Structure 1
Amino acid sequence: MRSMTGYAYCDSIVHNTDISCELKSYNSRFLDLTINVPQSMAQLEPFLRKFLTRHIIRGKVDFYLRIKKTYENQAITPNISLARSYYRSVSEIARSLGMEDQVSLDLILRQEGILQMDRTFNADQWQQDLQPILDLIIEHFNRTRIEEGKALKADMQKMLTTLSQAIEEIETNAAQMEAIFSATLKKRFAELLEHEPDEQRVMQEIAVLLVKYTINEEIIRAKAHINALQKEITENETPGRKIDFLCQEINREVNTIGSKNQLTAIGQAVIAAKDALENIREQAHNVE
């Protein structure tokens, strides 16, 4: 089990260039992946996206590849026409604000694309050289998610024990519910038999009481879902979505039991079960 929250950072040198790679993620229902690379390296984005989607199932994921320093002597070409366009637009804004004297050369030079490095970008070579760096950062990233996942798993197991105990308490008191049902049924028969019995009316009353008080089916289904939930938590490496679904199914059965309840003990067990389920569902939102 892995948390959707993770972080990893790595510095390296590729082709005489100091780079840094940063990978971070947090909770999201689906995989929401954002790739941030310098404009000159835009060709790497499909390669990076394919690599990350192969290793991450879901979460809001941000990946950054930054150039920190280059050690090569490279020709730098100014884009004069783009600089003029920037200057005209910035000057127009400045005049409208009464700040025309504040349009500096430094401001124009800081705009993207004004100064361009003349070099051929070998995407295939960069992909090959980035591979071991990406393998390292995903290893560190998964390590942080696994560590947090252990804490989430322990908390879920604790809540699952509480949930199982609540269902066992309900099952223990189900016989008493049956006794209340029998007593109510006998009383209703006695009331009906004071006068000429109506067989159809008697059958209708029996059907209504059976639906109203019997909870055996709900208990059986709830226990089956709990077993499936236990299996997901212990065996599935990415159980997040399945946990949420099973919790919904268990909650449906618990709600039905609560609506049929006639005993204080079962009512308390229903409350405990719903509280445990809510905690498990909350934690499932943090699990991949």
Structure 2
Amino acid sequence: MTSMTGYSYIEQNTENAVVSVEIKSVNSRFLDLTVNLPPFLNPLESFFRDLVTKKVVRGKVDVFIRVKETESDVEITADTKAAKAYYDAIKKISDSIGYSQEIPIGLIVSQPGVLNSSKNYDAEKYKEMILPVFNSSLDVFVKDRVREGENLKKDLLEKLVKLEECASFFKEWQPKMEAMFKEQITKKFNELLGDNADENRIMTETAAMLVKYTINEEIVRLSSHLEAMKNEINDNPVPGKKLDFICQEINREINTIGSKNQFTEVGAMVITAKDAIENIREQSKNVE
């Protein structure tokens, strides 16, 4: 089981640059992946995106890849024609206003287009530079999610035990409830008819009440859902969506038991069960 929240940050110095990769994620119904690269490395986005999707199923994941070069391989070219044109124009202005000092060279070279820089970005070279750092950061990120996932699994199993205790209580109380229904009906008939009370009529009324209030079917389905939940938690590496669905089914059975309930003890256990299933449902939103 894996949590949808995780974080990692790895920074390494290479021969010509400092490369850092930061990965963080929060909950999301689906995989919402954003890969942030320096603009000149945008062609590599799909490559790094594929590496993440192989290991992450759900979550809002943000990846930040930063490259700070310590040695820049930049080619500088000079446009001498543009420099001469700027010089002639500035000299013309100087002569017109009677300015007799030399025109500073810095003024000429600072004009647009006089000096031009260019850099040939070799995407493959940068990919090889980034990849080891990226893989290290991704491994740390995945391990962080797995570690948190184990804590979530432990908590889910604890809540599941509480639900199983509630289901056992309902099962134990079912025959008690039926006996108490019969006792209540018999008492009413005896109060009204005394010794003339018809046992067959009592049994008929009891059966009618049991049809209305029995929780046997709900208990059977509840036990089945709890078994399915246990299997998902223990065996499915990405149970998040399935757990949410099972929680809905369990909640439906518990609500039905609550609506049929006529006894304080059962009502109290229904509240306990609803609290446990709500905790499981909220926690399942953190699971991949």
| In structure 2, distance between residues paired with 1:230 and 1:270 | 20
For residue 224 of structure 1, what is the aligned residue in structure 2? 224
**CA shift for structure 1 position 46:** 1.1
Code of the aligned partner of 1:249: E
C-alpha contact (below 8 Å) 1:181/1:213 kept by paired residues: no
**CA shift for structure 1 position 183:** 4.8
Code of the aligned partner of 1:33: L
For residue 287 of structure 1, what is the aligned residue in structure 2? 287
Q: Secondary structure at the match of 1:67?
A: strand
| In structure 1, distance between residues paired with 2:40 and 2:116 | 9
Q: Deviations over 1:50-94 (max 9, x none)?
A: 1111111111110001122341331369xxxxxxxxxxxxxxxxx
TM alignment of 1:142-221, pairs within 5 A: 142-183=142-183, 209-221=209-221
| In structure 1, distance between residues paired with 2:6 and 2:60 | 10
Q: Secondary structure at the match of 2:4?
A: coil
Q: Secondary structure at the match of 1:62?
A: strand
Q: Secondary structure at the match of 2:54?
A: helix
**CA shift for structure 1 position 240:** 1.0
CA pair 15-52 structure 1, distance change in 2 beyond 3 A: farther
CA pair 206-172 structure 1, distance change in 2 beyond 3 A: closer
CA pair 173-9 structure 1, distance change in 2 beyond 3 A: same
RMSD of aligned C-alpha atoms?
Answer: 3.0
The answer to which of 12-21 and 263-272 deviates more is 12-21
Q: Secondary structure at the match of 1:121?
A: coil
CA pair 144-53 structure 1, distance change in 2 beyond 3 A: same
**Identical-residue share of aligned pairs (%):** 46
**CA shift for structure 1 position 210:** 4.5
Is residue 256 of structure 1 aligned with residue 262 of structure 2? Answer: no
TM alignment of 1:21-40, pairs within 5 A: 21-40=21-40
**CA shift for structure 1 position 17:** 2.6
Code of the aligned partner of 1:250: I
For residue 94 of structure 1, what is the aligned residue in structure 2? none
C-alpha contact (below 8 Å) 2:244/2:281 kept by paired residues: yes
| In structure 2, distance between residues paired with 1:155 and 1:268 | 23
For residue 266 of structure 1, what is the aligned residue in structure 2? 266
Q: Deviations over 1:33-57 (max 9, x none)?
A: 1111111011011112111111111
For residue 99 of structure 2, what is the aligned residue in structure 1? none
TM alignment of 1:12-23, pairs within 5 A: 12-13=12-13, 16-23=16-23
C-alpha contact (below 8 Å) 1:37/1:66 kept by paired residues: yes
| In structure 1, distance between residues paired with 2:40 and 2:211 | 69
C-alpha contact (below 8 Å) 2:19/2:133 kept by paired residues: no
| In structure 1, distance between residues paired with 2:122 and 2:133 | 17
**CA shift for structure 1 position 253:** 0.4
Q: Secondary structure at the match of 1:286?
A: coil
CA pair 148-189 structure 1, distance change in 2 beyond 3 A: same
Q: Deviations over 1:98-147 (max 9, x none)?
A: xxxxxxxxxxxxxxxxx996333333444455443332212100111112
C-alpha contact (below 8 Å) 2:17/2:68 kept by paired residues: yes
C-alpha contact (below 8 Å) 2:20/2:133 kept by paired residues: no
Code of the aligned partner of 1:141: F
Code of the aligned partner of 1:144: D
Code of the aligned partner of 2:63: F
C-alpha contact (below 8 Å) 2:8/2:140 kept by paired residues: yes
TM-score normalised to structure 2 length: 0.75
Considering only CA atoms, is the larger Rg found in Structure 1 or Structure 2? 2
Structure 2 gaps, min length 5: 78-114, 197-202
Q: Deviations over 1:144-176 (max 9, x none)?
A: 111211221111111111111011111100112
Number of equivalences:
243
**CA shift for structure 1 position 30:** 1.3
| In structure 2, distance between residues paired with 1:273 and 1:50 | 42
The answer to which of 224-233 and 13-22 deviates more is 13-22
Code of the aligned partner of 1:6: G
